Structure 1
Amino acid sequence: MKGTSTDERTLHDWFAASVAAHGDQPALEVAGERLTYAELNATAARLAARVVASHGSPPARVGLLAARSVTAYAGYLAVQRLGATVVPLGPSFPLARNAAVAEGAGLDLVIADAKAPAEADALPVPVLRADASAEGPLRSGPVPEPHGLAAGPDDLAYILFTSGSTGRPKGVPVAHRNVAAYLGHVIPRYQLGPGARVSQTFDLTFDPSVYDMFAAWGSGAALVVPSAADLMSPVRFVNRTGITHWNSVPSVISIARRLRGLAADSMPSLRWSLFCGEALTLDNAGAWRAAAPDSVLENIYGPTEMTVTWTEFRLPRYPSDWPSPANGTVPIGRPYPDQEHLVLGEDGRPAEDGELCVRGTQRFPGYLDPAENAGRFYAYDPAGDAPATAYDGTEPLTDRHWYRTGDRVTRLDGELVHLGRIDHQLKIRGYRVELGEIESVLRQRPGVTEAVVLAVRGPDGELGLEAVVCADVPLDTGPLLAAVGERLPRYMVPRGVAVRDELPLNANGKVDRAALTASLTGATV
């Protein structure tokens, strides 16, 4: 069993090493400002001192209500400098959501930047508004000595909150040791170091932002932050800023294609392209490959509970050599070193098609609320004959337990292929249906650029399938459904198709299925 990483560096250790080695190199470019490693470190140190002064002592857990500003990144580093745990909040989230996170995480205070909404002052913890812009007081003056206690490898680096089945956010704590195992793999794999320029497309509430920040800052690279408008024109952003390492959700490709902004050979200098967070279709991968022909293209996957990303699949240089899974998506590949996985069927035994269960040096220590652990882990001995049994919370959670991802996978030539969420696999009139298979058939029709299939209850209460598509030509839905019927059984053909100019995205850039379902049923999200 591979359970605990021997790398004991904390997030602050990774950054501090780059400050010492590359102090005069660019560390951050955001909102028209550029800071070297020395300047960013000094700003973070001054902000850390303000946090201690505001709280009266070094805090244990600090919220961060900031985005795409110097304050956001200096704030993240300030919390790490204090040996505390950072808990990102969403500036665009409703007050009630951020308040629930603040209470659930047990925050001591919240750092907010100048763009944070006025309602933030109504949060149930003190709010420290800080300005780390060039004209602000945090950008000049002496650099304070470190405050607080240095974090250890088993202390929590950050806590992220995901949607919980109970209707309240669920806290996912990740230890420094988990992140060290992750960074120790991805930094050399992607040849990061001084001179590299890394995009930062993800909100801080979404864990791929940890890759953006600390794969860059742990290697001496520059973190380059696009504006919201830049995300609509990735080619222009990449070329204007000299990005060498791109990382985003695949939806960015869809948006760029819809806006006719992804021409062939339009990003000749891009070296690395990573996509995660949702399924990367072969069609979208091909469009990006054509636009960045000299870039290494990888599909990466991982639940928040396994520390950012956890598997990798590098597409061959030539599309003619690419695999062709039945659902039209790029495989998620194989686990990183020192990680283990099982594919378990409904009977709790190994299967070729089933739920992906994982453990290893990147596995989180368990949910912030221990009651959430029940049912989300398995006890299973690969060397034994007994089936997996669900963890019920009556015994200590250990490294030996397997985390249940809730993702359904199969294998193709030894590579894992993501088939969707277990809860996206449903039965229609007694038949098992995988929504991703229907979506793939729809996307293959001429003119269809995006497709989502939803299970929606009709007026009669019966569960049925509805499709939502985007198209780059006028679309007659009758012939479209007829064509789908030529490929799939009748029970897999949607009863209706809605054509939209674009698909709604949630705060993390993923397709918002709940909003789509509500738009079809007239319900509220």
Structure 2
Amino acid sequence: MSADHDTNASTGLYGRFAATARRHPDATALEVEGTSYSYRQLESLAGRLARLLLDAHGGATPRCVGLLASRTLTAYAGYLAVQRLGAVVVPLNPGFPTARTADIALRARLDLILAQPDQAGVALPVPVVTPLNTGTPGAAYRPIPPARPVHPDDLCYVLFTSGSTGAPKGVPVQHRSVEAYLDHVVPRYGLGVGSRLSQTFDLTFDLSVFDLFGAWASGGTVVVPGPHDLLAPARFVARENITHWFSVPSVVSLAARLRQLRPNTMPALRWSLFCGEPLTRAQAAAWQAAAPASVTENLYGPTELTLSCAQFRLDAAQAAAPSGTTVPIGTLYPGLEHLVLDADGHPAAEGELCVRGVQRFPGYLDPEDNRGRFVRHTSGKATVVTDTAPPTPDLYYRTGDRVRVSEEGLIHLGRLDQQVKIQGYRVELGEIEAALRDAPGVRDAVVLAVPDQGGQTALAAACTGDRVDSARVLGTLRLRLPAYMVPASLTVLDTLPLNANGKTDRTALRRVLQRDGNANGANADGAMRAEAPSVGGSNR
């Protein structure tokens, strides 16, 4: 089925990969674990895995397949295999607790799970298939199934994010949304044969779709870093001749702390993209100095709006602006509309960002999660939709992000759920974090609301930096902020804890602050130092 003959057809992700494989069969599609795979080879591997999935499901095409793999050949060929079958892929992280993976498998109603070989023995409530344990030893020699056509409204993948109720929340995304995204980013970033894209994101993080299919839709190469390469990204970029870098901003801070971002260490890098959390001017400047020929863009977008949906391109002067401020998120992609709403639902210069359009998801996997997450805008005012029905296209998705309209586009001000009350005052934690980043020696900062010994809400802060004098920093804040906004404690860490996607893990950090606060009774007059916990956590 071709889009040239049927307006309801969609090439889908696999169709775009297959078209590239026909045009450039010998070009390198993937480099992982020291081995390169051409488009011809990767297409063959995907076809054989698709055959194994069919056989494992009794010859029938599975509707929804989990992918329990991370940065292995199984992960990448498996993603393509599921897409080749026209099925929905649900990425699963082998590093997450088995109980969470089992919960997701049930919530997603997976038919089976394709797992990398070292996960063959994991006990899950649905069948687990691995390339070495399929129950069909001759499957690799059986006919490879043809690629199945998909409809634009068909689901492409489902990702599970951390839910406010404590249960994972499924976010389904349609092929039409991903294709609209690719139609924008592939030409914008000049992707094609010769492009070499970093693959820094776990597959449970939707930004990984840019790495994979931005490359595979255009003839580029996905270059998978080794386990220690993200500690020294400049060395990885130079060694692997990376042309397109994409990561969360925290990678910049970690590399800077390890003194891995010396000036002009990435002279050949062409594009530097950051998303997933606020990008500070200091981070942008540090990276730009190491990659002077690179164009840097700050991207924004929740999973519900398909990877990223807004962009801001920096120039040298903008990167050199006051270091404590964050880079704007700029303007929205084509095919999207937005509203900025105040607390009463009226359009305003500052408020919650709400978005609708081609990249908006069709509603949560569990309809109950739709309640209160969309607004209808009529007669100059928006009203919150309180039912659980699938959202119609006219509804705007409530991002939960506070933004301000400016001449540079939208400015991200923090999460609405980062607004807390201290002594009866409304406090935006992002404002305090920005003030901390302006303090001498501070690189990164996070502020959390925690219960004090009396059970009242108090502010606790953590930061990284060189020779940070906590008493001096907090004294500086007293000159800039009202007393109720000055944290009661400041913990100086070697690194901020990161989750599996490289973002700051606020849950893990909360445990550190509460533990150290209880153990040491530290306050604003003294600093504490603690080792950051190991990486772990949930999606964005």
TM-score by length of 1: 0.93
2:442 is aligned with 1:439: no
Q: Which moved more, 1:58-67 or 1:324-333?
A: 324-333
Partner of 1:256: 255
8 A Cα contact 1:7 1:177, kept in partner: no
How many angstroms does 1:219 deviate by?
A: 0.5
Q: CA deviation at 1:435?
A: 1.2
CA distance in 2, matches of 1:417, 1:359: 19
One-letter code of the match for 2:124? Answer: L
- Displacement of 1:412 in angstroms is 2.0
Name the amino acid aligned to 1:392. Answer: T
Q: 1:321 to 1:503 in 2, by over 3 A?
A: closer
2:41 pairs with 39, 46, 53, which one? 39
In the aligned structure 2, how far is the partner of 1:95 from the partner of 1:215? 31
1:449 maps onto 2:443 in alignment: yes
Question: Equivalences for 1:311-350 in 2 at 5 Å?
Answer: 311-316=310-315, 318=316, 320-322=317-319, 328-350=325-347
Tell me, yes or no, if the aligned pair for 1:65 and 1:91 is still in contact at 8 Å: yes
Letter in 1 for 2:307: V
Farther off after superposition, 423-432 or 321-330? 321-330
Could you tell me how far apart the structure 1 residues matched to 2:72 and 2:323 are? 43
Percent identity at matched positions?
55
Q: Distance in 1 between matches of 2:364 and 2:390?
A: 13
Please say if 1:502 is aligned against 2:495.
yes
Q: Is 2:429 aligned against 1:429?
A: no
Letter of the aligned partner of 2:81 in structure 1? A
- Which residue of the other structure, out of 362, 367, 370, is the alignment partner of 2:367? 370
Q: Where in structure 2 are the equivalents of 1:241-320 lying within 5 Å?
A: 241-316=240-315, 318=316, 320=317
2:481 aligned residue: 488
1:162 aligns with 2:161: yes
Q: Which residue of 2 aligns with 1:413?
A: 407
> For the Cα contact (< 8 Å) 2:120–2:128, is it kept in 1?
no
Q: Which amino acid aligns with 1:349?
A: H
Worse-matched range after superposition: 108-117 or 48-57: 108-117
For 1:100, the equivalent position in structure 2 comes to: 103
The one-letter code matched in structure 1 to 2:130 is: R
Could you tell me which of 16, 21, 34 is aligned with 1:14? 16
Q: Deviations over 1:32-51 (max 9, x none)?
A: 11000000000000010011
More relative contact order, 1 or 2 (CA 8 Å, 6+ apart): 1
The answer on whether the counterparts of 2:280 and 2:323 sit within 8 Å (CA) in structure 1 is no
Cα 1:325–1:430, aligned 2, differ >3 Å: closer, same or farther?
farther
Residues in 1 aligned to 2:198 and 2:390: alpha-carbon distance in whole angstroms:
40
Partner of 1:127: 128
1:505 is paired with a residue whose SS is coil
Structure 2 unaligned segments of length 5 or more: list them. Answer: 1-6, 519-532
Question: What's the CA shift string for 1:74-102, capped at 9, x where partnerless?
Answer: 00000000110000011100001100110
The answer on whether the counterparts of 1:374 and 1:392 sit within 8 Å (CA) in structure 2 is: yes
Aligned residue for 2:359, secondary structure, equals: coil
Alpha-carbon shift at residue 324 of structure 1 (Å):
5.2
Determine which of 393, 402, 409 is the counterpart of 2:396: 402
Q: Is the 8 A contact 1:85 1:159 kept in 2?
A: yes
Distance 2:147 2:249 in 1: 40
Cα 1:123–1:88 change in 2 (3 A) is: same
Partner letter of residue 16 of structure 2?
Answer: W
Find the aligned partners of 1:329 and 1:323 in 2 and give their Cα distance. 11
Residue 434 of structure 1: CA displacement? 1.5
Residue 21 of structure 2 aligns to a residue whose secondary structure is helix
Partner of 2:87: 84
How far apart, in 1, do the equivalents of 2:73 and 2:413 lie?
39
Per-residue CA shift, 1:383-412, capped at 9, x if unaligned? Answer: x23x21111226552100100000111122
Counterpart residue number, 2:63:
60
Judge which range, 77-86 or 485-494, deviates more. 485-494
Q: Is residue 458–residue 464 contact of structure 1 (8 Å, CA) maintained in 2?
A: yes
User: What are the Cα deviations for residues 12-71 of structure 1, in whole angstroms up to 9, with x where unaligned?
Assistant: 111111011111100000001100000000000001001111111111100000111111
Task: For residue 449 of structure 1, report the CA deviation from its aligned partner.
Answer: 1.5
2:212 and 2:53 map into 1 onto residues whose CA distance is 21
What letter corresponds to residue 483 of structure 1 in structure 2? T
Pair 1:396–1:516, CA change in 2 (3 A): closer
Greater mean alpha carbon deviation, residues 7-16 or residues 484-493? 7-16
- Aligned-residue CA RMSD in angstroms? 2.1
Q: What's 2:223 paired with?
A: 224
Q: Does 1:73 align with 2:73?
A: no
**Aligned counterparts of 2:438 and 2:120: Cα–Cα separation in 1:** 43
2:116 maps to which residue?
113
Out of 440, 453, 458, which is 1:459 matched to?
453
Residue 448 (structure 1) shift: 1.4
**Which residue type is aligned with residue 129 of structure 1?**
T
SS of the residue corresponding to residue 480 of structure 2 reads coil
In structure 1, what residue type is equivalent to 2:493? R
Q: Distance in 2 between matches of 1:351 and 1:117?
A: 53
1:490 shift after superposition: 1.1
Unaligned runs of 5+ in 1: none
Does the aligned pair in 2 maintain the 1:195–1:222 contact within 8 Å?
yes
- Give the conservation status (yes or no) of the 8 Å contact 1:457–1:464: yes
* Residue 25 of structure 2 is aligned to residue 23 of structure 1: yes
Q: Is the 8 A contact 1:7 1:180 kept in 2?
A: no
In 2, the alpha carbon distance for the partners of 1:91 and 1:393 equals: 35
Task: Provide Cα deviations, 1:295-330, integer angstroms capped at 9, x if missing partner.
Answer: 0000000000000000000001x2x24595896100
Q: 1:115: how far off?
A: 3.2
Q: How far apart, CA to CA, are the structure 1 residues paired with 2:143 and 2:192?
A: 28
What CA distance in whole angstroms lies between the structure 2 residues aligned with 1:89 and 1:301? 23
Kindly state the Cα deviation for residue 7 of structure 1 after the two structures are TM-superposed: 8.4
Give the conservation status (yes or no) of the 8 Å contact 1:71–1:131: no
One-letter identity of the residue aligned with 1:401? L
- 1:160 & 1:459 partners in 2: Cα distance? 38
* Most deviating of 256-265 and 461-470: 461-470
- Secondary structure of 2:234's aligned partner: helix
Is 1:517–2:516 an aligned residue pair?
no
Map residues 124-203 of structure 1 onto 2, 5 A cutoff.
124-130=125-131, 144-147=143-146, 149-203=148-202
Q: Are the aligned partners of 2:370 and 2:389 in contact in 1 as well (CA < 8 Å)?
A: no
- How far apart in 1 are the matches of 2:390 and 2:490? 49
1:355 partnered with 2:352:
yes
Work out whether residues 451 and 468 of structure 1, in 8 Å CA contact, stay in contact via their aligned partners in 2. Answer: yes
Classify 1:395/1:448 alpha carbon distance in 2 versus 1 (closer, same or farther; 3 Å).
closer
User: What is the one-letter code of the residue matched to 2:452?
Assistant: G
What SS class does the counterpart of residue 88 from structure 1 fall into? strand
Q: What amino acid maps onto 2:511 in structure 1? A: A
